[in-house]
Structure 1
Amino acid sequence: MGRPEVVVLDYGAGNIHSAMNALRHVGANVELSRDSKAILNADGLLVPGVGAFGTVMEDLRASGAPRWIGQRIAGNRPVMGICVGHQVFFERGVEHGVQAEGLGEWPGVVEQLDAPMLPHIGWDFVCPPAESDMFEGVANERFYFVHSYAVQKWDFEVGNPKIKPPQVTWAHHGVDFIAAIENGPLWSTQFHPEKSGRAGLQLLRNWVETL
């Protein structure tokens, strides 16, 4: 079996090379692209994100990316978001009193953590569900966070009992916040797996092995 093809979405986000190198290390062929054909045809799409929620959403919309991301998710094609690339899948973000609309895959507001020290920088444990595929083999490991904002409330209802609800992983810094979500073809992490050493590489390997 060949190496899966992963596109890292090129919409102007910084600090992408460590993620690309980590994905190569765990067995993927990796391309940085904003070409719609490459994005739609890849085995996996990684959505990075650095900076302010509103700015990232503006850049995503300017590149046309929300349409391609939505098409992949609707077609059950794997997508993974990291950091602000995780946050944008929620309904909206609020930074310095300014609200910005997100991609709306999940309910929730990205807002400032109520913590004694911000930004939250460093290694922390997370609390994944027992049946998590994302955290297979690394459920008791620490991961590296760099952020001041996160989703702190989760209110998701599935009307059809045959549909599996998203699996939510929590962490704590001043308050509980969502550290990761697994939702069918869509995985995302508030922390940086590409900067989380062996545990982060294993998490990315878990994703690549689903492609």
Structure 2
Amino acid sequence: YGTQDMIVAQTSYMNERLRDVLPRRAIAKLRTLPNPVDEDLIVKMSMEALPGHDAEILSRRPQIVWCGRLIDVKRPTIAVDVLAEVRRRTGEDYELTMVGSGPMEAELRARAGELELASRLNLLGQRDNPFPLFRAARVGMLTSATEGFPNVLLEMMACRIPGIVTTPCAGDLDMLSGLEISAGFGASEVAEALLKVIQGGDRSALYGKTLSERSPDRFADMLLRAPSSYPGGQR
């Protein structure tokens, strides 16, 4: 490091961590620029018709959608536990639709069976275009232990999911307007945040600020204006 014109961190938290490991000559070139999201493209893709089987699943009951690799760091089994807790506390017949593939699929099916929720867990596998599924969901959920920055939250916002909940798995999540961040990483804490979203009504109108701040054009402009810092970013 040091020969680059600029070193970009996605979040202020990442910026802080990089300062601990970068050589002195590189630190002056470190900037925080938030990941962009192409809202127009995502909206267009989200309008594609769902295949018949998917449409049947998404229309029969209110859906909580989760998207990611089925691996330990994403903590997908917590999502199943959250489903059980939300159903218990609301009395509503929610289902959990999980988009993604990975080695934990059998474990997820087993956990759903233990909780008598096998018929309420939809494992749809990896999808090239998950956005129509997002658009049809009632709530979006992220359960990760850690992330660099979870772009899936921006994608869910662009699809105007009425409510989105995440664990505190990355920096600068509090800068995403309308997002509900759980107090911790446990199933009960995520369920509490999810219930707050469900009971509080549609938040999708709040996403516009974040999406406009992270447009591709704005991202390009911030790059061209370097070394000016992103608000709330560079130290």
TM-score of the pair, normalised by structure 2: 0.29
Give the structure with the higher percent helix: 2
TM-score of the pair, normalised by structure 1: 0.32
